[in-house]
Copies of this chain bind each other. A is one copy, B any other.
Amino acid sequence: MRSLIDIKDLSVKELDELCKTACDIIKHPKKYAHACEGKKLATLFFEPSTRTRLSFTAAMMELGGNVLGFSEATSSSSAKGESVSDTCKVVSNFADIIAIRHPKDGAGLVAALAANVPVINAGDGMHAHPTQTLADLLTIYREKGGFNNLTIGMCGDLKYGRTVHSLTLAMSRYKNIKLVLISPKELKMPDYVINDIIKKNHMKYKEVTSLEDNIKDLDILYMTRIQRERFFDQKEYERLKNSYVLTVDKLKKAKKSLRILHPLPRVNEISVKVDDDPRAAYFRQTLNGKYIRMALILKLLALAKKNPKKEPLYDKKKVRYDLKCKNPRCISGIEQEHEHKFVPTNKKGEFKCIYCEQKH
C-alpha cells in the first residue's frame, strides 16, 4: 500500500504510466465506468477548495465509486479538538482511499502515517499539492506530446507559489528544459529552489521581470495568482496584484504553439478575453486534473489490493528527536503527542523535518 504525499514520491516511470492511464481513460471512458464500484473515497477538506474537492469527487464518480467527506473544518470533529491522525484512523473504517486537504504543512504525512488506507495529499499548507502538479504534467503531455525540450515561463508569484516550485521539481527530471522565471523582485523564486533544484539538476534558467519582453520564447507559460492570503502587508498586495496580467495584446508576441497554464482560481491575472484563444489551456487543465486523479486513484487502490502492508513513509532508523521544527505553519507539535522528528537530507550534516520538510 502506498500514499501520495509529494510529487517526488513518484518516479519518472510512474508519472509516465499515470499519464498513459489517463489518456486511456479519455479514449475509453466506458471501460473504467465501473472500475471502483463498491469503493469509497473520503474527501477530508479541513479548508475549503472547491475545485480540488469537486475534481476528486467527479473522478471517483466516473470510476463508479462513491464519495463522502466534509468541505471545511467547521463541519468536522476537529472543531472538537480531534487530531488529524484520529480522524484518519476513524475514516479508514468508512472509506477505501482518502484525499486530505489541510492548512498545516505536513498534514499529508500525518494522515498517511495514521490511515489504514491509501492517502492522497490534496494540498497541505505551503508544503505540497502533488495532484495539481499531476494535472499540470498531463496538460503538458497532452498539449506538447511529451516533457522534453521545452522552454517554460513561470510568471507571477514565484516566491509563495507552491505550484511552480513543484512543477520545477517535476520538470527537473526531464531533458533540455529551459526556465524563464518572470516575477517582480519581491516575489522571486526562492534560493532553495534555485540552488537545490534548478542548479543542482543543471537546468538552464534566467530570472527576468518583464512578461512582455520574454513571452516570444516560450512553449509553456505558467501563470500564477498573486494570492492575497500570502501577504502580511495588504498595501504591497494592492501594488503588485495588477503586475503580470496576461492580456490579448501581450499574447500577440507569443508563438502559435504556446500553451498557457494556470492552477486556478484566477482573479485578474489573465484577461477573460484570452479564454477564447486556442493557446489558453487552463480550463482543459482542470479537465486533465480529473483524469489524472482517476488514474491515481486506480493505481493506489491496485497497489493496496496487491499488498495491504504500508510502505514506510520515512526512514525510522535515521530519525533524530532532539531538533524542533521552527516552521510556524508545520503540523508538528500540534497533533497529540506527536514528537518533532528530523531525518538527514542528501546534504551532509543537514536535517529536515519529516512533516513539512523544512531544513534545520
Contacts and interface: CB of A to CB of B under 8 A. Distances in A.
B61 A68 contact: yes
A267 interface: yes
B265 A81 contact: yes
Contacts of A38: 33
B51 A90 contact: yes
A82 B265 CA distance: 6
Interface string A26-46: 000000010000101010000
Given A42-B54, A90-B51, A72 B69 contact: no
Contact of A287 (B49, B82, B93): B93
Given A94-B55, A266-B86, A49 B66 contact: no
A89 B69 CA distance: 24
Given A67-B68, A271-B337, 16 more contacts: A40-B62, A42-B54, A48-B75, A48-B76, A50-B77, A61-B68, A71-B75, A80-B227, A81-B228, A81-B265, A85-B272, A90-B286, A93-B283, A94-B290, A268-B337, A272-B336
A337 B265 contact: no
A7 interface: no
A264 interface: yes
A268 B336 contact: yes
A58 B67 CA distance: 9
A95 B58 contact: yes
Nearest to A271: B337
Contact of A40 (B42, B61, B66, B286): B61
Contact of A337 (B71, B91, B273): B273
A174 interface: no
27 contacts: A33-B38, A40-B58, A42-B54, A48-B74, A48-B75, A50-B87, A54-B68, A54-B70, A58-B93, A67-B68, A71-B75, A72-B74, A77-B264, A80-B265, A82-B264, A82-B265, A83-B272, A85-B272, A86-B264, A86-B266, A90-B286, A93-B290, A94-B290, A267-B336, A268-B336, A272-B337, A273-B337
